[in-house]
């Protein structure tokens, strides 16, 4: 029997690429990141390539860097590869032209992904690959996990012979992340595929001083053109080389592929042409339609470039009368998308060359499908075939969406189903943190590798980083599974979080008679009454078999904490019928022993206990005859929300975003701010409860809350009219507060329960210090009252910005304009953004680099940046990852241009149209604080009123841009990956420009968003991906580098360690009339500890000197003082203590204690040295003395 493995597409491809390469240069980007990570992991374990060498894996500063590095490695004669996607691929394009132009044997692998246009999307389509068509690369498309692995091998083999570089691509997520049972490629197969002579030839072309040659010459008009044509024979020969490789591959493995592969009726009249994973859905549709008498077919394009005309023509059935070409990309303004245009050209040329063996001229239409992983189902394929059957099929259509603007979309029948009855389909709703996806991957492994059944898993995540939902789609069946789309009718549905039932259409996935498994905190007999009425009705209508378990309780009792994965996995095997129960349980235990055996016997024992206990606590629920519940499902957003939120945001929140038509969206990607407040997520099991009698009103809770879900207000007694009975209020302490009363209030439905606020609360009960001014208590019993209290709290007037003292305490009384984001519970970044929104308030423009902060800042469905009652608030945009500093500078330049224009118009229009005094006041105003800002805004209002009667174009222009007479603050925000690595060149340039752009770096010391890859901000001794054994070199000292300019305001801050300094730094950066760089220590889940202790770790980091606090203010230098002020003390010998508290360091210590100690010692030395330099810089220089004349 053939050997099988269950892996995802990325792993399948990376395995081939790693074994076939010597040098691997990468840069992480979704959805390709895991290929590089796996390659690195394997190399760090010493896994060798086919020739016994451990490939070197190097992480670069950007994809442009990775492409440059592989280009060099290839020129040096080595076998190199890289993995990328989307914007990363775009950054590689210049190098790709070079690599191809030099006829270099090279294969790279792309998990194809959408490009950032009107919006960023991490999901799959061919937009990125299609942008590379002219580079001169062969483009080879695979459409399943098995194919992705196989084509990786074929591509590596073919490029060696062809010397045409290969870009092997497969659909991001759908293939890269689908877990499937495949036949692996053994080393012997790979070796047999690679031609030894071609390998030697590659080596012989190496750039070497032993056989000196020169490349990269510059040509003139006399030679460039003809020299460029010299490569033609290689492209002519390439398709045959691929064909021969496919043939060799078939002989070795039995799996046969063709350049263009036709399947379906031999006498088909209607044919769909496409490439990638969509072929699976079309194939299923073709089979079903043909079984019912249709004559349809599918032509898969494998090798898109070089386009083999002859093979294309030969592959089409002679009976073809109409063709629909489906492109998974969009080229606005083109006559059609790339594959469509190529097919048109191919048909025409085939006719001219006499290759057309079909009669007549087939009708050809083109359409778009599947952008950004939009579902593409057999039903949609049928819609395309139906369209082809019409007398006048529509061209340039779309399928999979509803286009109610240009009416190009095809309708499809949602009830057209092709799934076989003998395939078990299961859908699981889980929480990101509960381990559901991991457990399902494990189940697939068990079934895929231990039984005859084929298995497939695909996982859908929402975009939140706290309380995120995962939906797992699993299929198990007797044949290889081609279904490249989500499960829609499942025979098994599990809801691992009871609360989901009242929020999402969980049961929409259940087919009639399906098994429903509910994790519920209720006794089986009481469960029915706890279900919403709609759910009850669906259970009855679909005659579902309902089972329940209190998994949280079972997991806790087994010592598993909140990880219910093992419990729920056991239940799945016990009642889904995929495997005989006893066999399944034995296999789960084997899998547990394998997974956790190395991690500790205790873990194995606890998991075993969870398995046994799960079986004992799993109960069948008796279903009554009628729906009885009085409770209905919850609305996705508040009924008070604005119309757009009700119509659009609500649909996305409810999981029905696919149903929104084109007209729901602004055509340019503009989106309203302030929508996160309408989605009440209720994800905290416990929330902080305030004891006013203990509170010292330091506001640290509000300051460090990552979600603006606990707030402070000071107000006058009058605000308490109509106060709810449980609302807490106390006398304001201190004279600085703007009101006589004070309240700390939690937003019970927005809190994530991270407990950071409680951890930083310094106010303890003197008799019982365990009780503090904030304690975490169960949310459910408090919800109703606190919801009402929070609503009341929000109505209390906001503090007067001009009246509040802008220090760490006072700033927290100001309205945050960044709230309820989807950031991780305990996030260390978001408090800084919130703080900035409080400090700078409502005149903030933000350029946000791609990364965590752009995801929680701008990923649908909701937007956390919000406006105040005047309608002003942060305006936010994400351009790219790499260009954020430049983009921010551009915003600054643009704002300055409008300001100049407005000022010029004021001068121009006075005194004829404007009172001279007003004009002078407007132009002469010095706006350095909130009071002055308010005055200027009042003048602008007066100006507008004065302009209203005027009827000149100049007056109209001024009225439109009058607001620019008040200053706007432009900040570029991003993570360390941006600032230290990919965007460093731009950041450096922008700061050097002297322009008034402010930069906030949220430094987590690692690439957080893409999953913990090292950056140059990663400190020595920390484990990160690409530094698995712990980083050897020290953290890049970005602040010192930028201080070197002299004219840049620079600060290093750590809110949890010294909030007063952080607030001061932001205020100084803001007020400085020049560029500013503020680098903020941000604790992160990638550090591996309970983030409730984030502030504690920050203190330790500062104390140990790992994160010195300082401010470098060029204004001080101008005043004759040292520009640098140190805000923390000399390093204390507590570095080891700081590091010990975080898994990222501790795992390095455990791996090699000796090496770790030396890394720590080296770091201590370095920190002391850096500190002494800082100290010198901060020491006032003695006044210059007159040189003595004595000798």
Give the footprint of another protein on this chain (CB under 8 A). Answer: 30-31, 33-34, 37, 41, 44-45, 122-123, 173, 177, 432-433, 435, 437-438, 441, 459, 461, 463, 465, 468, 470, 561, 563, 596, 598-603, 764, 766, 769, 824, 855, 1008-1012, 1023-1025, 1027-1029, 1084-1086, 1088-1089, 1143-1144, 1146-1147, 1150-1151, 1153-1154, 1157
Beta-sheet strands, E only, within 608-723: 619-620, 686-690, 710-715
Q: How far is Cα 785 from Cα 779, in angstroms, rounded to an integer? A: 10
- Provide DSSP, 1077-1125: EEEEE---GGG-S-GGGHHHHHHHHHHTTSS--EEE-HHHHHTTS-SEE
3-state class of 1036 per DSSP? coil
3-state class of 388 per DSSP? helix
Q: How far is Cα 318 from Cα 834, in angstroms, rounded to an integer? A: 65
Query: Least distance in Å: CB of 1099 to another protein?
Result: 12
Query: Least distance in Å: CB of 772 to another protein?
Result: 10
For the beta carbon of residue 254, count every other beta carbon within 10 angstroms: 9
Q: For another protein, give the closer residue by CB, 177 or 892.
A: 177
Kindly report whether the peptide bond that precedes residue 975 is cis, defined as omega within 30 degrees of 0: no
Q: For another protein, give the closer residue by CB, 561 or 624.
A: 561
How big, in percent rounded to 5, are the helix, strand and coil portions of the chain? 45, 15, 40
Q: Which of 11, 37, 59, 63 is catalytic?
A: 63
1186 an active-site residue? no
Query: Least distance in Å: CB of 67 to another protein?
Result: 22
Query: Least distance in Å: CB of 1157 to another protein?
Result: 7
Looking only at the bridges linking them, the beta strands covering 741-746 and 730-731 are antiparallel
Query: Least distance in Å: CB of 825 to another protein?
Result: 10
Beta-sheet strands, E only, within 716-756: 730-731, 741-746
Torsions phi, psi for 179 (to 5 deg): -95, 125
Q: For another protein, give the closer residue by CB, 801 or 1087.
A: 1087
Q: For another protein, give the closer residue by CB, 479 or 764.
A: 764
113 an active-site residue? yes
Burial of 1188 (0-12, 13-18, 19+ CB in 10 A): exposed
Q: How far is Cα 939 from Cα 933, in angstroms, rounded to an integer? A: 10
Q: Which of 567, 625, 311 is nearest to 439 (CA)?
A: 567
Q: For another protein, give the closer residue by CB, 339 or 431.
A: 431
**Cβ pair 992, 1027 in contact under 8 A:** no
Q: How far is Cα 1015 from Cα 977, in angstroms, rounded to an integer? A: 6
Give 928's contacts (C-beta < 8 A, 6+ positions apart): 1071
Q: How far is Cα 193 from Cα 189, in angstroms, rounded to an integer? A: 6
1009 an active-site residue? yes
Q: Which of 113, 677, 892, 1052 is catalytic?
A: 113
Q: For another protein, give the closer residue by CB, 40 or 1070.
A: 40
Q: How far is Cα 722 from Cα 720, in angstroms, rounded to an integer? A: 6
Query: Least distance in Å: CB of 559 to another protein?
Result: 8
Kindly report whether the peptide bond that precedes residue 167 is cis, defined as omega within 30 degrees of 0: no
Query: Least distance in Å: CB of 650 to another protein?
Result: 22
Query: Least distance in Å: CB of 31 to another protein?
Result: 8
Q: How far is Cα 402 from Cα 497, in angstroms, rounded to an integer? A: 32
Q: How are strands ordered across the β-sheet holding 1049-1053? A: 875-877, 844-848, 969-975, 998-1003, 1076-1081, 1049-1053, 1110-1112, 1124-1126
**Cβ pair 1175, 1124 in contact under 8 A:** no
Q: Which of 6, 10, 23, 30 is catalytic?
A: 30
Give 348's contacts (C-beta < 8 A, 6+ positions apart): none
Q: For residue 305, give the H/E element and its range.
A: strand 303-305
Q: For another protein, give the closer residue by CB, 724 or 1011.
A: 1011
Query: Least distance in Å: CB of 1009 to another protein?
Result: 6
Q: Which of 682, 677, 683, 686 is nearest to 774 (CA)?
A: 686
Please measure the distance between the N-terminal and C-terminal CA atoms of the chain and give it in whole angstroms.
97
Q: How far is Cα 461 from Cα 316, in angstroms, rounded to an integer? A: 39
Query: Least distance in Å: CB of 91 to another protein?
Result: 18
Burial of 1066 (0-12, 13-18, 19+ CB in 10 A): buried
Q: Which of 675, 752, 1009, 1010 is catalytic?
A: 1009
878 an active-site residue? no
Query: Least distance in Å: CB of 109 to another protein?
Result: 17
Catalytic residues: 30, 63, 113, 1009
């Amino acid at each position: 029997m053939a050997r099988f493995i269950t892996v995802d597409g990325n792993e399948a491809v990376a395995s081939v690429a790693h074994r076939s390469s010597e040098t691997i240069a990468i840069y992480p980007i979704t959805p390709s990141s895991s290929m590089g990570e796996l390659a690195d992991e394997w190399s760090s374990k010493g896994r060798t390539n086919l020739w016994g060498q451990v490939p070197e894996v190097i992480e670069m500063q950007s994809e442009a860097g990775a492409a440059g590095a592989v280009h060099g490695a290839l020129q040096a004669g080595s076998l190199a590869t890289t993995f990328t996607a989307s914007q990363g691929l775009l950054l590689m394009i210049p190098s790709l032209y070079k690599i191809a132009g030099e006829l270099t044997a090279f294969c790279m692998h792309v998990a194809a992904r959408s490009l950032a246009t009107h919006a960023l999307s991490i999901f799959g389509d061919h937009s990125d690959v299609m942008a590379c068509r002219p580079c001169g690369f062969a483009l080879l498309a695979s459409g399943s996990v098995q194919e992705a692995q196989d084509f990786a091998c074929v591509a590596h083999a073919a490029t060696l012979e062809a010397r045409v570089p290969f870009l092997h691509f497969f659909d991001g997520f759908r293939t890269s992340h689908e877990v499937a049972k495949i036949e692996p490629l053994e080393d012997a197969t790979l070796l047999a595929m690679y031609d030894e002579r071609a390998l030697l030839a590659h080596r012989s072309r190496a750039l070497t001083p032993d056989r000196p040659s020169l490349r990269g010459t510059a040509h003139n008009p006399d030679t460039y053109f003809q020299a460029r044509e010299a490569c033609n024979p290689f492209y002519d020969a390439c398709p045959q080389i691929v064909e021969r490789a496919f043939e060799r591959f078939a002989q070795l493995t039995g799996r046969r592929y063709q350049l263009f592969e036709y399947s379906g009726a031999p006498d088909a009249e209607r044919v769909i042409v496409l490439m990638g994973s969509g072929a699976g859905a079309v194939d299923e549709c073709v089979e079903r339609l043909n079984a019912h008498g249709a004559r349809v077919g599918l032509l898969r394009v494998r090798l898109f470039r070089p386009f083999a005309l002859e093979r294309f023509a030969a592959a089409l059935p002679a009976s073809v009368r109409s063709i629909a070409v489906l492109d998974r990309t969009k080229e606005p303004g083109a006559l059609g998308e790339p594959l469509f245009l190529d097919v048109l050209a191919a048909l025409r040329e085939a006719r001219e060359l006499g290759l057309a063996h079909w009669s007549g001229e087939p009708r050809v239409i083109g359409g778009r499908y599947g952008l950004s992983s939009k579902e593409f189902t057999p039903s949609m394929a049928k819609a395309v075939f139906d369209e082809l059957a019409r007398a006048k099929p529509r061209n340039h259509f779309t399928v999979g969406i509803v286009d109610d603007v240009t009416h190009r979309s095809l309708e499809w029948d949602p009830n057209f189903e092709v799934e076989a009855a003998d395939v078990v389909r299961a859908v699981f709703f889980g929480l990101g943190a509960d381990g559901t996806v991991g457990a399902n991957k494990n189940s697939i492994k068990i079934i895929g590798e231990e039984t005859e059944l084929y298995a497939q898993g695909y996982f859908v995540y929402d975009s939140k980083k706290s309380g995120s939902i995962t939906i797992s789609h699993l299929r198990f069946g007797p044949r290889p599974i081609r279904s490249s789309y989500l499960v829609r009718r499942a025979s098994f549905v599990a809801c691992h979080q009871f609360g989901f039932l009242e929020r999402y259409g969980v049961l929409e996935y259940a087919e009639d008679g399906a098994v429903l498994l509910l994790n519920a905190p209720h006794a089986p007999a009481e469960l029915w009454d706890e279900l919403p009425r709609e759910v009850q009705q669906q259970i009855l209508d679909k005659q579902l078999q309902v089972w329940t378990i209190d998994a949280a309780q079972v997991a806790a009792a087994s010592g598993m904490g909140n990880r219910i994965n093992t419990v729920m996995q056991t239940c799945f095997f016990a009642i889904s019928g995929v495997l005989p129960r006893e066999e399944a349980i034995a296999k789960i235990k084997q899998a547990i022993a394998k997974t956790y055996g190395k991690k500790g016997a205790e873990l194995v024992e606890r998991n075993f206990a969870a398995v046994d206990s799960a079986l004992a606590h799993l109960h069948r629920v008796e279903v009554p005859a009628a729906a009885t519940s009085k409770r209905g499902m919850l609305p996705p957003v508040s009924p008070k929300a604005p119309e757009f939120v009700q119509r659009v945001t609500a649909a996305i929140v409810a999981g029905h975003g696919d149903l929104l038509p084109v007209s729901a969206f602004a055509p340019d990607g503009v989106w309203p701010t302030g929508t996160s407040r309408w989605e009440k997520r209720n994800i905290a099991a416990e929330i902080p409860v305030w004891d006013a009698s203990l509170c010292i009103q330091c506001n640290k809770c509000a300051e460090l809350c990552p979600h603006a879900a606990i707030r402070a207000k000071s107000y006058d007694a009058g605000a308490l009219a109509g106060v709810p009975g449980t609302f807490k209020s106390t006398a304001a302490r201190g004279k600085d507060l703007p009101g006589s009363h004070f309240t700390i209030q939690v937003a019970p439905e927005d809190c994530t329960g991270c407990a950071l606020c409680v951890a930083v609360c310094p106010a303890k009960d003197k008799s019982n210090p365990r009780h503090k001014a904030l304690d975490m208590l169960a949310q459910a019993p408090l919800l109703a009252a606190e919801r009402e209290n929070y609503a009341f709290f929000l109505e209390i007037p906001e503090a007067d910005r001009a009246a509040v003292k802008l220090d760490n305490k006072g700033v927290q009384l100001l309205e945050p304009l960044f709230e309820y984001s989807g950031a991780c519970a305990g996030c260390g970044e978001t408090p800084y953004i919130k703080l900035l929104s409080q400090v700078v308030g409502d005149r903030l423009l933000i350029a946000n680099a791609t990364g965590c902060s752009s995801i929680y800042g701008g990923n649908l469905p909701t937007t956390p940046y919000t406006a105040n009652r005047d309608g002003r608030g942060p305006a936010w945009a994400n351009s790219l990852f790499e260009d954020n500093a430049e983009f921010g500078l551009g915003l600054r330049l643009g704002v300055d241009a409008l300001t100049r224009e407005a000022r010029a118009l004021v001068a121009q229009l006075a005194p004829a149209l404007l009172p001279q005094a007003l004009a002078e006041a407007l132009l002469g105003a010095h706006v350095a604080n909130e009071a002055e800002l308010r005055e200027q805004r009042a003048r602008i209002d007066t100006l507008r009123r004065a302009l209203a009667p005027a009827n000149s174009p100049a007056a109209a222009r001024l009225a439109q841009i009058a607001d620019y007479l008040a200053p706007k603050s432009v900040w570029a925000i991003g993570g360390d990956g941006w600032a230290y690595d990919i965007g460093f060149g731009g950041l450096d340039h922008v700061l050097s420009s002297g322009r008034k752009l402010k930069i906030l770096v949220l430094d987590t010391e690692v690439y957080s968003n893409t999953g913990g890859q090292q950056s140059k901000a990663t400190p020595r001794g920390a484990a990160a991906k690409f530094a698995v054994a712990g980083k050897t070199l020290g953290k890049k000292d970005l602040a010192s580098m930028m201080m070197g300019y002299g004219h840049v305001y620079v600060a290093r801050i750590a809110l949890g360690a010294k909030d007063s300094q952080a607030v001061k730094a932001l205020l100084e950066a803001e007020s400085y009339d020049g560029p500013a760089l503020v680098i903020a220590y941000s604790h992160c889940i990638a550090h591996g500890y309970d983030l409730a202790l984030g502030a504690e770790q920050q203190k330790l980091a500062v104390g140990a000197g790992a994160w010195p606090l300082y401010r470098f203010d060029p204004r001080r230098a101008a005043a004759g003082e040292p520009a640098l002020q140190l805000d923390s003390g000399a390093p204390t010998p507590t570095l080891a203590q700081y590091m010990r508290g975080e898994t990222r360091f501790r795992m390095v210590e455990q791996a090699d204690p000796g090496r770790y100690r030396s890394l720590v010692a080296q770091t201590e030395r370095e920190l002391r040295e850096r500190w002494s330099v800082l100290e010198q810089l901060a020491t006032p220089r003695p006044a210059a003395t007159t040189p003595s004349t004595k000798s």
